Amino acid sequence: MPTLSHTAQAIATGRSSASEVLQACIARIEATEPRIKAFTGTRFEAAREDAARIDAQRARGEPLGPLAGVPFAVKNLFDIAGEVTLAGSKVNRSNLPARDDAVLVQRLRAAGAVLVGSLNMDEYAYGFTTENSHYGPTHNPHRAGHSAGGSSGGSGAAVAAGQVPLALGSDTNGSIRVPSSFCGVWGLKPTFGRLSRRGSYPFVANIDHLGPFADDLAGLALAYDALQGPDPLDPGCFATAVQPTLRGLDQGTRELRIGVLGGYFADFAGEDAREAVAQAATALGARETVLWPDAAEARAAAFITTASEGGALHLQRLRERMDDFEPLSVDRFIAGALQPAAWYVRAQRFRRVYRDKVNALFQRWDVLIAPATPVAAPALGSEWIEVNGQRLPCRPSIGLLTQPISFAGCPVVAAPLWPSGSGGLPIGVQLIAAPWREDLALRAGHALERAGVAAVRTPPP
């Protein structure tokens, strides 16, 4: 299957038509979806009209957008005009259809990308495994019966299965980086506040990030550049200008100061995760171990913030329709709603000090490497994982290594690696940069891809 960047180039040069690319995409979805269960809805007829319109534009000699004809799909918490935004829930089915596309959907379509459908997720984005009892669990394309990660599991699985080269997801505590790791695809969690969240269903307003998944690094940068831009109607979007990253990928990493996170990030990394980090570190010439400040405390504060804001957001729905909630999430929301307000206030006070410590770390370092998940994808339904001799509860522990990073708001590229001991399953590494320096993390990812260390391996249908 051609990658995102190759597909965009083929359509731009006329080697392929948008309609041909779309038809191949639809065929792939139909062939793989019964096993993967990544989609909760498709819009193939509308997509065919969009693709035909792009082909007609090209025939007339009109300029095309940078993503012209590239198929994409979105986690079903993004608004799609005329459709109900499910956010993985049963409760939302009774809501009115969205009036407009979400801002990020609008931006991809304005760049010429063709929307083909919506993707499965953990209910209201509260989970790491996409074991959704309303729409069924999403399966890992590399091993049926194993988790695709969450909460953007449908997004990671759709890209990994070759169903689409591009998908949108959200990341509060790791929901882009975990599916990227388990499914073996590229993912980008931008700086907190970098991309507009308008038109997406919220989870935790103070930690929610939106970002893309892609099947190659250049495609990830291409999509990210199309998604950028200020949004004065979104008070949570702090971006003031577009900062193009695609043109800077070939600058290399020779002058970058790259370190490897140790301490907490080694203690909670299994053997496969440590092997993946070692491979990335060798390829990037990273030799020095770095300690991230207050990682365990940041994870605890992220949990408190998540529970408090999530519980408050859904309190009325819990009172009215508790039985319609996902069994795996309802107890978390209730516990969050009952959490003392003093805990939340203390977590926010800690966050201010914590961010200052993290930002100070980047005065010396440009990019830091850490594992994305403690282990490779566990079997669906797993209750426990083992990490370095420790038996840990599976679902919350999947985010052990991602939560401290997103709580600081730093941008992260999740790079797909394939350690020898993981039995054919991928595992990702986080390439972490200072706030607003997505370009550095993308450059490091590009270097790993060019070295053959990080790659997407699409399984046969």
| 123: nearest Cα among 341, 371, 301, 321 | 321
Inter-residue contact 99 to 84 (CB < 8 Å): no
| 242: nearest Cα among 111, 115, 78 | 111
Reported as half-sphere exposure (CB side, CA atoms, 13 A), residue 269 has a value of: 26
C-alpha dist (Å) from residue 69 to 2, 60, 61, 246:
13, 16, 15, 19
Residue 75 annotated in active site: yes
Instruction: Say how far apart CA 41 and CA 329 lie, in whole Å.
Output: 22
Residue 37 annotated in active site: no
Please report which residue ranges of 314-437 form alpha helices under DSSP H. 315-321, 327-337, 341-361, 394-397, 403-408
Dig out the tokens for 347 from the structure: 């977590």
**Candidate list 89, 118, 147, 151, residue with the active-site label:** 151
**Candidate list 75, 189, 200, 397, residue with the active-site label:** 75
Dig out the tokens for 131 from the structure: 């074991």
Residue 90 annotated in active site: no
Dig out the tokens for 24 from the structure: 């191949």
Instruction: Say how far apart CA 377 and CA 142 lie, in whole Å.
Output: 10
Which residues are paired to 418 by β-bridges?
A: none
**Candidate list 17, 19, 155, 175, residue with the active-site label:** 175
Position 430: which residue type? Answer: Q
Give the residue numbers marked as catalytic: 75, 151, 175
